Structure 1
Amino acid sequence: MTAWWALALYLIFGALGFGWRSWRQYRATGSTGFRGTSGRPGSLEWFAGVGFIAAIAVGVVAAVLQLTGALTPVSVLSAAPVQALGVVLAVAGIAATLYAQNQMGDSWRIGVDDTETTTLVHTGVFGLVRNPIFTAMIVFAAGITLIIPNPVAIASFVLLAATIELQVRIVEEPYLNRAHGDDYRSYLATTGRFAPGIGRVTT
């Protein structure tokens, strides 16, 4: 039964966080906001984008395999209160993702296009952390992992966290530094990367 919860939450997350948000972006700007992966195939930048997609796919596979009985949860994490906490975290992650996406307004993108410069958003929730959407996604993924705590789901979570780190550090931060210069460097120095006060950078 818990695997059905995980699949349903993945569907909701994809439909709202990517589908609905892209539709809203298109209605407002004429663009879906999708910019694809960065870098040449095989580069770290490329792996960041491809790894993100792979992590989501592996997470869905983990739920399906558990649903069919091909995988069983790690016993120490399979207690009902742990799975209930997972549902709470996953729902909170979806809500936080949508909230942060909305605060980005027309600047929301998936991926980076070096030929465009969007407005640097640094107020609201972006005044607390520089990457609240990614923080929310990690919370969502942690919740899913607690709902179906099997080895493949855990591997999916680790892969997602690693690729988000790569995307932020080697794709998005360098791009924003080039695009916004001193304004972004000031933002780096005062605002945490994924959590308030943690990951500030002085250049």
Structure 2
Amino acid sequence: MAVLALSLYGAFLLIAGPLRAGIQYRRTGDTGARHGRLGTAQWWGSIAPGLGSLLAGILAPAAEITGLVHPLPGLDGMPVRITGVVLAVLGIAATFTAQLAMGASWRIGVAPGETTALVTTGPFKLVRNPIYTAAILTVSGLALMVPNPLALAGLAATVIGIEITVRLVEEPYLLRVHGAAYAGYAARTGRFLPRLGRLSAPRPPG
């Protein structure tokens, strides 16, 4: 199962990174990659999920293969590991589907002076951040495939990093750029799950 986890993680990296960036470049002449300055919320929001997925997708399986880290007793069972496979495969497929649904607006990170179209259709009609939901699903699956402390730490780091990105970087950016359109969208659409994490609609002045 650890070898399969490594393979699925490799597929996830390829599909969510170079493949999607390549499609974006062919369509727009831009890879869509935006990088934050060292130490900023955007930087931490990209570093934490990267390290988290590395822990869950490479170090945790490698530690299991070499016997350096043992699975947690309550999670070490074939039903749990098979569930992990299903979640990881679904998460990879959902990540790519949601990325494609963004079309030309797809970005990794944000650039303060840049404006892209607000996407609210397809999977974005159900939740505001389906790509992140799918990424968390993928890393959750990988963690269940090799349920040891390294994998769970990786999952925690991934979730924390995504929360930083969404709450401290992307939501303020989208509110600033799209104003009432995003505020209304966020008031009726959940952050990661339907109806959960909706933002309060702004009150009219006066």
Compute the displacement of 1:41 (Å): 2.8
Give, in whole Å, the separation in 2 of the partners of 1:155 and 1:117. 35
- The alpha-carbon deviation at position 182 of structure 1 amounts to 0.8
> Which is worse superposed, 43-52 or 17-26?
43-52
Which residue identity is paired with 1:25? Q
Aligned to 1:5: 4
1:143 aligns with 2:168: no
Match of 1:82 among 65, 73, 80: 80
Kept in 1: contact 2:45–2:165 (CA 8 A):
yes
CA deviation vs aligned residue, 1:63-118 (integer Å, no higher than 9, x gap):
11111111111121111111001000000000100110111011111010112101
Equivalent-residue separation in structure 2 for 1:81 and 1:33 (angstroms): 39
Q: Unaligned regions of 5+ residues in structure 1, if any?
A: none
Counterpart-to-counterpart distance in 2, 1:7 and 1:19: 18
The structure 2 residue matched to 1:97, chosen from 76, 84, 95, is 95
Could you tell me whether the CA contact under 8 Å between 2:81 and 2:144 is conserved in 1?
yes
Cα–Cα, structure 1 residues 197 and 87, in superposed 2: closer, same or farther, change >3 Å?
Answer: same
In structure 2, distance between residues paired with 1:56 and 1:81: 22
Task: Give me the whole-angstrom Cα distance separating, in 1, the residues matched to 2:74 and 2:180.
Answer: 49
Cα distance in structure 1, aligned partners of 2:92 and 2:46: 20
Residues 1:57 and 2:54 aligned together: yes
Q: Which amino acid aligns with 2:39?
A: G
Question: Deviations for 1:26-49, whole angstroms, at most 9, x for unmatched residues?
Answer: 10011111112x3x4334333212
Residues 16-165 of structure 1 mapped to structure 2, 5 A cutoff: 16-36=15-35, 38=36, 40-59=37-56, 60-165=58-163
For 1:178 and 1:67, the matched residues in 2 are separated by 48
* TM-score, L = length of structure 1: 0.95
In structure 2, how many angstroms separate the alpha carbons of the residues matched to 1:174 and 1:129? 17
Residues in 1 aligned to 2:44 and 2:178: alpha-carbon distance in whole angstroms: 25
SS at match of 2:118: coil
**Stretches of structure 2 lacking an aligned partner (at least 5 in a row):** none
Give distance in 1, aligned partners of 2:81 and 2:9. 15
* CA displacement at 1:152 relative to structure 2: 0.5
Q: Which amino acid aligns with 2:155?
A: F
TM-score after normalising by structure 2: 0.94
Tell me, in whole angstroms, the C-alpha distance in 1 between the residues paired with 2:127 and 2:89: 20
